Each structure stands twice: as structure tokens, then as C-alpha cells.
Structure 1
Amino acid sequence: MSPEPPDLTRLLRDWTSGQPEALTSLIEVVYPELRRIAAQHLSRERQGHTLQPTALVNEAYLRLAQQGPGKQWTDRTHFFAVTARIVRAVLVDHARARLAAKRGAGAIEVELSEADGRVPAPPVDLLDLDAALEALEQLDAQQSRIVELRHFAGLSIEETAGVLDISPATVKRDWLVAKTWIRRHMNGEIPA
């Protein structure tokens, strides 16, 4: 009989209360999931991209560790919601650095698709997606957050609903509306 996995919520609370060793245990528990999320995002990039899943997870870990014990974590979904924002920031920073290095050529492309991968979508430029999410946030912060949680953290409808404390039906509706709005914005159908 295998030992029961450590309770993520307990590890988060231990880390919050100032136990630095809890961060090490926490990363051991969540690393496989973070690596899966990173690999999922990077698999949608153009051929020959330079950021590897391990590098993305390591950079996310460093930024997460900087959050420090002062951060109040509620549970697993809250942790992955914060992680989604961090992963998004790492990807956008990498895309901007690469774009600057190429002087405007070779922007990184990713797909905006269903989190479970059933419905593939055409690749989109990560910087355009980030700009669209920022514009959507000005109109509807909840819809922007839903896209971030579903796309960047890979959270399910139910997990997203739990993080935002709304119904799964609301998440489904807003997810559909937000994806449509983002695609229209990125296609130039909605003024910037």
C-alpha cells in the first residue's frame, strides 16, 4: 500500500506560516502538474521555440518562491490560479524578450483551445493574446480571469468555478463569450 500523498492545502498553509521546508515539499507535490501545464503550453508554440518545459517550471518556481510566506493560500485551486498568472507572465516575458532580440520577427504562437484538448484551435500570437486579455479585463475582469485560469492553469470548469466562487454554468457561458470576444479582438473586428 502506497503512502497517501501530502495534503497540498496543508503544505500551502505551512509555507504561509513561515515554514520554509514546506515550499520544498510543496514543489515535490505540484512539480509534475506544473510540468504538464508547461509542456501543454509549449507544445502549442511554433516549431523550434527555445523555452523548454523545465525552464518554464523553474522560472515559475522562482517567481512563486518570491511570493514568500506572506501570501495567504486557501487551497489547491487558489495555488494553481496564482500559478496560472505566473506562467502567463513568464511566457509573455519570454515572448517579449525573443521578439526584441529578433527586432520584431518570430513572435511566439500558442493555441487558444479547450483546456481538455478536444477542440484544437489555430495558433495565436502570445503577445496578441496577452493584449487581448488585458483589453478584456477592462471590460469584464471575470471573463478575463476565466480565460487565464482555463488556458494558463489548465483548470477545469468546476475548478475555475471554485476559484472564482461562481457556478459552473456561469464559467461555461463566460468561457465561450470570452473566447469569442478574444478571437474577434485579435482578428481586428473589435477596436483596440
Structure 2
Amino acid sequence: MSAPDGQVTILLKAMKTGDHSAADKLLPLVYSELHRLAAAYMHRERKDHTLQPTALINEAYLRLAQEDIDWQNREHFIGVAANVMRRVLVDHARAHTAAMRGGGFVRVELDDNVAISQERSSELLLLDDALTRLEALNPRQARVVELRYFGGLSVEQVANILGVAPRSVKRDWALARIWLFKEVRQTS
């Protein structure tokens, strides 16, 4: 981490109170973490994707800076950023799928070394829909999947963000993967 967590938290609180310069000061302090998240997301995308990690960061950061969120700390910000990046990619996938209007069987595998089929836009949409349904049933499991699968975070990092024990993250990860596999399989 390039800056003390306290400095990031102060800037996040300043953003909440309407200090527009705080957002500009915050980006350099969290950029490396955002880039790591964006790179993890983009690694799982189709090869011909038009977004690059930097563009994903910029789009997500613009959305984050406009949100009215009571920021708690760096981990909270990074967790929300992971969610926003997912939303940006889902929006792109919807646009790509609408343009292509293709179909066919789609395979999604949720393991630590994610294997993804070639048509990643459709796959991402199926996974996003299933994840939305999971969130209604078990918000923490959905958050674990989002941070591990989309954000590329370790079990320990997710545990820190969620404020739970690593064994709880491992359990949630395992149960959510089973549930999502069944859901995606039923809808594809």
C-alpha cells in the first residue's frame, strides 16, 4: 500500500462532505490497488475486449466519485470499487451481446484458476444474473464471490474487507461456487 490507510480514510470522508479536490488526491493513493483489480477483471474477459485496465479504472472511478457513500476506510473503498468494475464490465457485456445477438451453450467455472469459454460476454451476463439472485439469498456469499472471482483478492484480503475469519470466507466461497454452478447450468 502506497499511503497510510488513515490518509485514504481522511480523503474518503472529505469526498463525502463534498470536497471535490479529495477525489483527485485519492486516486494516486489507491491507483495500484485499483489497477490490480482491473487487471484481474480484464484477465477473465474475452481476448477482443475493447476496454483496457486503465479505461476500466477510469470508468469505475468516475462512477465512484459520484456515489453518495459513507466511506469507512480503504478496504471499504476497494470493495465497492470491485463491485463498480463488475457493473462496468456487465454493462459492456450487455452492449456486446446485444450487438452480437449470438447464442449457444456457455460454460462458467468458478475455481481459483478460472477457466473461461471464448464467449465471455454471455458468460459474464449469466454469472451476473446468478450472482444477483445469490445476493438476495446470501449477501455475504455474493460479496465473497465478487471479491474473489471478479476482484482477484485472496481469502485473507476478502476476510479483512468483510471483517470475518478466513475460514468463513473459504466456507462461503465453496458454498457459493456450488450454488452458482447449479444456477448457471440451469439457465444456460
Q: TM-score range by the shorter chain?
A: 0.7 to 0.9
Is the CA contact (8 Å cut-off) linking 1:109 and 1:126 kept in structure 2?
no
Are positions 1:132 and 2:125 aligned together? no
Q: Which residue of 2 aligns with 1:104?
A: 102
**Aligned partners of 1:52 and 1:186: how far apart in 2?**
27
Q: Which residue of 1 aligns with 2:72?
A: 74
Residue-by-residue CA offset, 1:82-139 (whole Å, 9 max, x unaligned)? 1111011101000000111112369x9987443xxxxx12216111110110121232
Residues 147-156 or 17-26, more deviating: 147-156
Q: How many positions carry a matched residue from both structures?
A: 180
**Aligned partners of 1:178 and 1:157: how far apart in 2?**
14
Label 1:40 to 1:149 Cα distance change in 2 as closer, same or farther (>3 A).
closer
Residue-by-residue CA offset, 1:69-90 (whole Å, 9 max, x unaligned)? x421111111011111101110
Label 1:44 to 1:109 Cα distance change in 2 as closer, same or farther (>3 A).
farther
Is the CA contact (8 Å cut-off) linking 2:40 and 2:151 kept in structure 1?
no
Select which of 163, 166, 169 maps to 1:165: 163
**Aligned partners of 2:107 and 2:20: how far apart in 1?**
37
**Aligned partners of 1:31 and 1:5: how far apart in 2?**
11
Q: 3-state SS of the aligned residue for 1:48?
A: coil
Is the CA contact (8 Å cut-off) linking 2:82 and 2:147 kept in structure 1?
yes
Are positions 1:155 and 2:176 aligned together? no
**Aligned partners of 1:45 and 1:87: how far apart in 2?**
12
Q: Which residue of 2 aligns with 1:121?
A: 114
Residue-by-residue CA offset, 1:49-70 (whole Å, 9 max, x unaligned)? 2221122111101101111xx4
Are positions 1:54 and 2:54 aligned together? yes
**Amino-acid identity (%):** 49
The within-5 A match list for 1:164-183 is: 164-183=162-181
Q: Post-superposition shift, 1:15?
A: 1.9
Q: Post-superposition shift, 1:27?
A: 0.8
Q: Which residue of 2 aligns with 1:142?
A: 140
Q: 3-state SS of the aligned residue for 1:187?
A: helix
Give the structure with the larger helix fraction.
2
Structure with the greater relative contact order (CA < 8 A, sep ≥ 6): 1 or 2?
2
Q: Any unmatched runs of 5+ in structure 1?
A: 115-119
Label 1:173 to 1:47 Cα distance change in 2 as closer, same or farther (>3 A).
same
Amino acid at match of 1:173: R
Is the CA contact (8 Å cut-off) linking 2:79 and 2:161 kept in structure 1?
yes
**Aligned partners of 2:80 and 2:131: how far apart in 1?**
16
TM norm structure 2: 0.83
TM norm structure 1: 0.82
Computed over aligned residues only, the root mean square deviation of the Cα atoms, in angstroms, reads 2.6
**Aligned partners of 2:47 and 2:14: how far apart in 1?**
41
Q: Which residue of 2 aligns with 1:34?
A: 34
